[in-house]
Structures are given as C-alpha cells and as structure tokens.
Chains A and B, each alone.
Chain A
Amino acid sequence: MSTPVAAGTLSASSPAASRVRARRWRRRLAALGESTPATVGIAIVLAWVVLAVLAPLIAPYPPNANDMAALAHTTPSKAHWLGTDHLGRDLLARVLWGARPVLVIAPLAVLGAAALGSLLGLSAGYFGRWIDLTITRACDIVLSFPVIILYMIILAHVGSSAWNIIGVLTLTKAPIIARIVRGMTLDLREREYVAAAKMRGESALYIMLVEILPNARGPLVVDMCLRTGYNVIIIGALGFLGIGLPPPDPDWGGMVKDTYGMMMVWPHMALVPCAAISSLVVGFNLLAVGLRELGLRD
C-alpha cells in the first residue's frame, strides 16, 4: 500500500498546505480545551502518564522492597505516605510502578482491537454478502461468550504475560469495533466519492482504507477512548483473579487481590489501588465525552 502515501505527498509537500494543516490542528486542540470534561479527562490521563514515566525517579522506595519495621504500622505515615501493604511494601511506590503496565497494555490492546476490528468491519460492510455474514456471525459468537471465563480459559492455556493479555483483549474487543465500523461502512460506501474512486479503478483495499475509514474515525476515536478505560478495568479484574501479570511486580488488580482479605482491618491496602483504577477509567471516559462533544459540533 504505497500508493496513498505517495499521493499524499502532493498536499504535504507544499508549505501552504502544511500551514493549513497546522492551523487546523491548533484549532482542534483549542476546541478540545473549551470542553470541561475533555480538559479534566486529559489532565487525569496525562498526570498518570507522567507519574508512570517518572516512577523510577519519584517513587520513594523500590516497589518490591519490604520494610519489616513498617509492618507494625501499615497505615499512612510520614515514611510511607499511603501506607504499606501486608508485606511492608510501600503502597505509593507500588501504585506508581503499577501504572506502567496498565498504561502500556490498555492502549496497545485497544490499538490492536481497532486495527483488527476496523479491517473486519470494513470488509463486512464493503463487500456484503457471504463475507458480511461470516464476519458478523463470528463476531456474534465471540461477543456471546462470558468474557472473563474466556480469559481464564485462554490465559490458563497459554500462560499469563503482558503480550498474551494484549492478544486476548484484542481478540475480544475487535468484534465490538467491527460492528461499529461495519455500520458506518454500510452508509459511507454509498457516497458518491466512493463511486468516483471505483470509476478511476481503485482497489477495494484503497477504497476501504483511504476513502471510507477516515470518515469513520470520529466515532471510532471516541469508542477507542472509552474502550481504553474498560481495558483498564479488565486488566484490574484479571489481576484480581490472579491471571494478570505474574508477581511480584506491582499490578493494581493484583494489589487488591493480595490485600482484600485484610479489608476489615486495613482497608487502605485495597482502596489505594482501587482509587488508582477508578481515576484512570474516569479520565478516559471524560476524554471520550469531550471528543464526542467535539465531533457533534463539527
């Protein structure tokens, strides 16, 4: 697929075009700033990204270091701002370190699902007939499984690792994206610019990727944002079920699993990672709301 790129140089090469493009982007960002949910959402997500990147520098302790002395007082103190868990590990350090896998796995899985789902949805919507029927039914079958049980079966089989979790999330989220893209493709393929593309002999792949997909991006981006949030929850749930990332490296769900038995005595041990999960999910959701507002206005 070198053709679309090559033809794109036409508009990219001229300085006037790039200036127009830069202005367009600045306007878009400014518009996003006008929406309160979007601003708050961006702030939360960005804050977590910065904290995760800087975790090695700002975390007060190594994430897996046990402070046996602190075990007497696990609750928040001057030495351990958020307290320690039942093994004397600093909760602040673990929450900061724990943001790293989530912020890699959740977006990567969404990107994977979007790529696979878009391709499936575009093919189903564009070609129709038996291709549509096959893809739609296959998606329905995947969607009808209770996902958590599906994850347990698959991960128990292939073993739990970051890449396997990304793979599993991609496979189970792609059908949802495929449905959205298929619906939009059914409408977009009837547009006159698609007929014009056919009349100059474009390939089906070009029409799907260059003529149709860009016009489906609005709802798609909003959905990807929402789905990143949902993935954060699922990664947490997998950790809680013990089929998430292997210990001892911190993982928010795993942190809750390790400590929820002590809920009655030391609730902070489970509440701290829970709060981390919710804040990140809320951040992604607000961002999605803001993007949707922006899309409605255009």
Chain B
Amino acid sequence: MTDGPLLDVQDLRVSYTTRAGEVPVVPGLSFQLNAGEALGLVGESGCGKSTVALAIVRYLGRSGRIVGGRIRFEGRELTTLDEAGLRAIRGRRIAMVYQDPMASLNPVMTVGHQLMEAPRTHEGVSGATARDRALAMLAEVKLADPEAVMERYPHQLSGGQQQRIVIAMALITGPALLIMDEPTTGLDVTVEAAVLDLVRELRSRHRSAILFISHNLGSVVRVCDRVAVMYRGELVEEGPVRRIFTNPRHPYTRGLLDCLPTLGSDKRQAPLVPIAGQVESALARAPGCGFAGRCAHVEIGRCTSHPIPIGEVYGEPDHHVACVRADELARWTRRSGATVTHDAGVVGEPMVAVHHLTKIYEPRRRWLRGPRAPVRAVSDVDLAAARGRTLAIVGESGCGKSTVAKVLSGLVVATAGGVTLDGVEVGALAVDARGAALKRKLQMVFQNPDSTLNPSHTVGYAIGRALRRLQGLSPADLAAGVEHLLEVVKLPPAMAARKPGHLSGGEKQRAAIARALAGDPEVIVADEPVSALDVSVQASIVNLLTEIQAARGATLVFISHDLAVVRYLADTVAVMYLGTVAELGSVERVFAPPYHPYTEALLSAVPVPDPDHAVARILLEGRVPRADEIPRGCPFATRCPRRIGPICDETPPPVQRFGADHRIACHIPGEELRRLQTALVEPRVVGR
C-alpha cells in the first residue's frame, strides 16, 4: 500500500466517438477518494457520472476512449494497465453495483453459484470455503434464510432482494473500492431506505471506499461523507456532506436542492423550482462555465469568457466550488413559505368516487391443469376526489394503486363495487363501452416515458390524432390545435415534427400530457408520471401538472410511491396496502399523527436531503405477501412493527374515523397511536 488517496483521478478526459464526431463527455475531471471514504457523485442524467465510473474500471466500450489524464488506484496507474492487470483489479479490488440488479445477475445460475464464483476465480479458494463465505455474506446483507436463498434463481427474488445479492457479490472479495451506480433508483421507498441503511452499515464494517453515483441528493446524504456535484463532465462543487447541504455555493447545486420536494413543503407554500432548460449537449462547449446557459446568476463576460477554475470556498478549506460568483451569492436557505395561508376544508361534491371497489384478476385456465388462484388486486376500496382537487394514491408496488387507475380509466372493469365519474356509474364500463363525452371527461398520463408515445409517430401526429378523436377537430385546424397544446406544456412548436426517439424523458412526458389534455378532460389520472424521471425534470413536470390543474379546474388523481411528491401536490391522500386503503384523509391529517403504522413506516423511509434530519427509521421486515397468501385479518399484520396480537392476524381491522376527513383501518385505538407516534413531518402552518 502506498501513501496518498486510494483513488486519485487527475484531469481525466473521456470522449465518445459518434457519427456527429468526437464528443468530449468528460472534458477534465479531478477528484480523490481516500480509503474507507464514501463520495457521492451527483448530477442530472447526461452529466457524465456513469462515464466516470466506467472509465475507472476501463469498461467504456467500443466508442468511448480515455483521451487524457491519470487514474491512480492503490498507487497503480489504471489508464495504461493491460487486460491482465485490469482483470486482477476488477471484481477483486474494485467492485461495481449497477442500477438494474436483474441485468447484473445471470438468470440461469443459482444465486449461490454466482456468489461463489468471485472468490473461486479471484482467490482460488475451495468450493467449501467459497460456500461458507457466500453464506456469511448473505447473512450480512440481511437476507433471511441464506441456505434457501443460495438455491434460488434471480427471478425468484424481489427487486430489493436482488439488489442485496448484487451488493453481497460486490463485497464478497473485500474490495478496496465499491462503485455504486444509481443502486436504488427504481426501488420502492421502503426498499430503498433499507438498502441505503444496509450500505451504510456494511461500509463501517468492511472499510471499503464507496463511490456512490446518484441523481438524487436525498439518497446521497444517507451514505456519503463527501459529495461531488458534476455538471457536463466537470466538477462544479465538492465538499463534506454537511457543507454542501447547509451552504451550497454553486447555483447548480442549489438548483438540485431546490427541485427536491420535501416532506415539509407543499405547492401552496413553496413551489418547487426546477432548473431551467436541460443538460446541454457535450458537443458544443463554450469557453466559460458549462452551466452558464441555465444559470439564473450568470454574468455574460465574467462567466462565459474563460474556463472557471475550482477554488476554495472562503473560510471553508475542505469545500471547493467552480463559480466566479460563489462568494457574491447570498447564503442559500431551504425553501419554506410558512407565511402563506392555505385554504383547507372547502370540499366540493366528488368528481370521482369509488365505492366498495373490488378487482379480481382471473388467471387463464391452464390446459388440463385446473384453475390457478385468482389474484385479488383491489378489495373493497372507498375513495373520492373532489372536483378541482388532487387525490393522491400512495403505496409500494403491488398495492393495487395502478389497478384503481385502470378501473377509473376503463382499461379494466371492476369485479364488484362501483366507480362514479361526475355522477355517472362507469365501474362496469370498459373504455369501448363509454360514450364520447365520458371518454373526453377522463384521460390518463402514463408512467414510462419510453412507452407512452408511439416511437413510429411524430409528436404532432400523436397529439393531433387525440384532438381529432376527442374534439372532432377538422384536419385544417389540427396544426393550430397541436401548436396550442404544445405551448400549454411548454414545448416549442418544432417538437410536432419530431419522433419520440429524439426527445428527452421530460419532453416525452410533456408531450404525453399534451395528448391527455387534447380532450380538455375534467379528470386527469396520472399513474406514476414522474417516477422514471430525474429529480430536476420531475420538479418541472409536477409544477406543470399543478399549473394545468389550477388553470383548468381539473380533478387530478395522482398515483405515486413518492410521499414527498404526494405531500407537495395532494389535497387528499389514500395510502394503500395489498389492495386495501390503510389510511385516507386530507394531506395535513395523513401527514400528522395518528398515522396508520404503514404510513408511519413509509414516512420514515423517505430520503430527506438534510444531514441534520435524524428520524428513527422504521424498517419493514419481510416482503409484501403474494396474492394467494393475503392474511385473513389485517393485510399489514405480517409486517407491522406495531402488531398487538393475534387479533391482527384473525380479524379485519375496524375503520376508525377522526373527524370528517380522516380514517385509519387499524386495531390500535387512535389515541394510543397518537401517544406512541411522534410527528415525522414538521407541521404545516395553517393560517386563517
């Protein structure tokens, strides 16, 4: 071992060769990582974070190339190391964990086999030793019953379990450096919280250094000591977590913090501030600050004439920033708007009402093998959304929230119970059976930006077709109609001629919102519309939805697993678990005690971008039961940290009402819950 940092990246330059020419994705990046330290690398998609990670292990692929600079790891120069040398380091000294665990695991090999592979090939240990190590590692990543897990195939495990296995595989050789590339993106909040806690715990035990890549400052705070913020391949700010979060000096870092919804704020108090524009292409680089084009504090000339050096922040020797105006900007304060009043309480007649809704999916009969158990996706759900208000449905994946959305939209039909839309019963009406007026009344915004628009059609065609079908617009008026809708969602008119392949995720989602608006709907059902987007883009889409809703007086049914977003834009919140509503109420009441124990656990799992925010985390043990093993009593009984006894397993919980607009389905009396629980969210100031 030599002295100095474990990983020393000096002036690293990486380019990709594309048809458009050589693209300098990373034009010069330097940072150090000491042994045992955790560094968070943060920035929007397209900022070159993953490129840096891949450059370190020299996995850039055919089109990528390190053009210059040095990467020293444990005193060895990685940029010039030959294949044999790299093989000795990869997997053994440097391990990687990627975003999608299913892509990292081999589907035809058992988990045990894959875990034992690394020690056997890299260290040449015997099968028995490797097996013992694998078992110990599985216990360390907190998987129950390691022996059984060893024999499983990846598809038999949940997403969270798979990511634990990948982490176990990465740590089993005791690497000096662990690179994690968006390891929790795509996981449910509760699972994400558990994985982040696990990483933090393993870190202190294994003394591995961690390079943690994320677009979300909230998740970085839980794991890292230092944060490096990257923009267009360059470091714009770097320093200890606490300094970055309490005194961010770079406008980009501030932008990333301002666009995060937090549990303490909502749309009326402190609107989210998205970062203007989007990450510019690395092709056309101006001589000055890379962020100048999107920066609110830009001074043409000073900022744009010459490269901006990274320098110490005045009075903070361990905090560096690349901004010429860093010392001039006022100190950053967390958004809050406690002075704004809020008009709670006025609730109109329900626009959408769900009564005792049950949806059972009957699996197809298999030839000669008898029927399979039906899947009860939603059982006996009651909800209502008032006209012009926002109803948010939250819960982990598989809780039935998307099924409710599908029944509302008529893509599936209710098995029992009903749905009324502006007084008209539509629960039994599939979308084909709904009249033109009903179709116009309710439109949907979908989750996946890559599948929401047809890649074969231009944006203009997609929106124009919706205008024709829903408004009956004549072909002559279509172009104007499309242009108007694009303007509403803040897209330039030229977008009409583009196909989705040339749009960013945020632009696709905007175009999809424009398509949904074509019929001038009174109800917009949005099924996880922002969960696949970067935080900075998420903020602008959330703002757009609230704006449109306010301007049109539309009712919004917003489905999400992100409680911070829900807190931000909802008026009424329904927390769903295993097809039932655990808690329902106005947003103020749901986010204040008494909580349903499940709400409490969800709230405590939300990543908060604030190092001083310490919450006793309630970790949910076990997994969501499968459809054929739903408990007879309370559906949450198998995982509930506040379970009081056999009554929870045997008897369905009573619905307790607290005032007109709050109800909880739990056996524990409300007073008792209130006594046990502390407020997890700072109360909202309600003025009169």
Contact = CB atoms under 8 A, between A and B. Distances in A.
B410 A199 contact: yes
Contacts of B470: 200
A155 B183 CA distance: 63
A10 B482 contact: yes
A201 B498 contact: no
Contact of B439 (A16, A192, A200): A200
Contacts of B434: 201
A8 interface: yes
Contacts of A193: 451-454, 462
B81 interface: no
A210 B475 CA distance: 18
A144 interface: no
Binding site of A, secondary structure by majority: helix, strand, loop or mixed?
A: helix
B644 to A, nearest CB: 42
A14 B479 contact: yes
A201 B431 contact: yes
Interface stretch (B442-450, B537-545, B604-612): B442-450
Query: For A10, A192, A198, A214, which residue has the most chain B Cβ atoms within 10 angstroms?
Result: A10
Contacts of B461: 7-8, 10-11
A211 interface: yes
A17 B483 CA distance: 14
Given A199-B410, A214-B456, A7 B465 contact: yes
A199 B460 contact: no
A10 B461 CA distance: 7
A202 interface: yes
Given A192-B446, A192-B447, A214-B456, A200 B465 contact: yes
A195 B444 contact: yes
Interface in A13-42: 13-14, 16-17, 20
Nearest to A17: B497
Contacts of B454: 191, 193, 211, 214-215
A199 B431 contact: yes
A265 to B, nearest CB: 55
Contacts of B496: 11, 14, 17
A215 B456 CA distance: 6
Interface string B475-512: 10011001000000000001011100100000000001
B176 interface: no
Interface residues of B, number: 44
A198 B433 CA distance: 11
A33 to B, nearest CB: 13
Given A17-B497, A195-B446, A196-B446, A7 B475 contact: yes
A192 to B, nearest CB: 4
Contacts of B468: 3, 6-7
B458 interface: yes
B456 A192 contact: no
Interface string B29-68: 0000000000000000000000000000000000000000
B686 interface: no
B519 interface: yes
A298 B458 CA distance: 17
A202 B453 contact: no
Contacts of A192: 446-448, 451-452
Nearest to B474: A6
B464 interface: yes
B411 A199 contact: yes
Contacts of B518: 200
Interface of A: 3, 6-11, 13-14, 16-17, 20, 191-193, 195-196, 198-202, 210-211, 214-215, 217, 298
19 contacts: A3-B468, A6-B468, A7-B464, A11-B496, A14-B496, A17-B496, A191-B454, A192-B446, A192-B452, A193-B451, A196-B446, A198-B432, A199-B444, A200-B443, A201-B432, A202-B469, A211-B454, A214-B457, A217-B456
